[in-house]
């Protein structure tokens, strides 16, 4: 089938620099937020390797623990932690933009939506830590 | 042939995965990638961890954690390449690698969680 738009003149797009996101602070924070996706993937990968290690017995788990203590891994993981934290903070502060709630015709203020999200984040984090550390 | 787009589903997964990873990843990473390796906190023994991940509800939790986070990451990474680095001519390949990678990760997670003794 002929694509009906194939022979139409294309709209003009000025070529942007590949490094356009270095031009402004807000562009840079945008691209850093997007880059957090790499570390989200990395965290899942670590989780999968750890599940594998735990199910393969104490020696595999010890080897995993030793691997995690390697300076290179610690370096990567410090960066990963900062990115994941950045993702979380930006995600919750964006929630009011994605979720507009009106009460009696008035828009609910941003803090009334992001606030409970931050509170839930703290509670959930403490809950997970308690379950893991309880032993 | 259906002309329906997959985009709404992908955005839904992006959004759900964004919330799940924002809520859970910082504490997971803090404990297992920083606090335990650096000795700030005593890591649980292998036996304890195995007992922790064995119940079906925890396996489901870990599966959802991996599945949604992977599709969130894949979707966002796809647009990082698209908007950030403006790699638009390789769109089809990038989509296959991003969502394919997420799918492989999801299946691996299901397999590993299924195999827990």
Question: What are the sequence ranges of the domains in chain A?
Answer: 20-133
pLDDT of amino acid A92: 93
Single out the residue of B13, B117, B65, B51 nearest to residue A48, CA to CA.
B65
ipTM of the complex model: 0.92
Q: Which two tokens stand for residue B69?
A: 């986070």
pLDDT of amino acid B28: 97
Percent above pLDDT 70 for chain A? 92
Q: Under a CB-based contact definition with an 8 Å cutoff, are residues B76 and A36 in contact? A: yes
Confidence of residue A20 (pLDDT cuts 50, 70, 90): confident
The answer to whether the CB atoms of A77 and B116 lie below 8 A apart is no
Whether the CB of B46 is below 8 Å from some CB of chain A: the reply is yes
> How far apart (Å, rounded) are the C-alpha atoms in residues A36 and A45?
14
- At residue B17's C-alpha, the angle toward residues A23 and A53, to 5°, is 105
pLDDT at A1 over 80: no
> How far apart (Å, rounded) are the C-alpha atoms in residues B78 and A49?
24
pLDDT of amino acid B31: 97
- For chain A, positions 100-119, list CB contacts with chain B under 8 A: none
The answer to whether the CB atoms of B29 and A58 lie below 8 A apart is no
pLDDT of amino acid B1: 44
Question: Least CB-CB distance to B50: which of A43, A54, A85?
Answer: A54
| DSSP secondary structure code for residue A23 in this structure | S
Q: What is the mean pLDDT of residues B99-113?
A: 97
Tell me the fold of A20-133: 3 helical TM bundles of succinate and fumarate reductases (1.20.1300)
Domains of chain B plus CATH, in order, are: 8-114 (1.20.1300.10)
pLDDT of amino acid A7: 66
> How far apart (Å, rounded) are the C-alpha atoms in residues B45 and A32?
36
Longest dimension (CA), chain A: 67
Confidence of residue B82 (pLDDT cuts 50, 70, 90): confident
pLDDT of amino acid A135: 66
């Amino acid at each position: 089938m002929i694509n009906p738009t194939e022979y139409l003149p294309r709209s003009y797009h000025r070529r942007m620099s590949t490094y356009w996101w270095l031009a402004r602070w807000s562009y840079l924070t945008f691209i850093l937020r997007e880059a957090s996706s790499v570390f989200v993937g990395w965290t899942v990968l670590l989780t999968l390797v750890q599940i594998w290690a735990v199910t393969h017995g104490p020696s595999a788990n010890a080897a995993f623990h030793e691997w995690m203590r390697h300076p290179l891994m610690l370096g990567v993981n410090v960066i990963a932690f900062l990115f994941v934290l950045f993702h979380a903070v930006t995600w919750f502060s964006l929630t009011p933009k994605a979720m507009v709630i009106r009460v009696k015709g008035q828009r609910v203020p941003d803090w009334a939506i992001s606030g409970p999200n931050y509170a839930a984040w703290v509670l959930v984090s403490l809950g997970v830590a308690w379950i893991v550390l309880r032993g | 042939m259906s002309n329906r787009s997959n985009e709404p589903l992908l955005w839904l997964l992006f959004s759900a995965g964004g919330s799940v990873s924002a809520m859970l990843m910082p504490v997971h990473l803090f404990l297992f990638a920083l606090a335990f390796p650096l000795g700030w906190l005593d890591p649980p023994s292998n036996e304890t961890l195995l007992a922790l991940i064995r119940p079906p509800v925890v396996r489901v939790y870990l599966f959802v954690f991996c599945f949604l986070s992977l599709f969130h990451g894949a979707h966002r990474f796809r647009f990082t390449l698209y908007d950030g680095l403006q790699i638009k001519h390789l769109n089809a390949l990038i989509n296959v690698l991003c969502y394919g990678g997420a799918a492989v990760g999801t299946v691996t997670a299901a397999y590993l969680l299924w195999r827990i003794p």
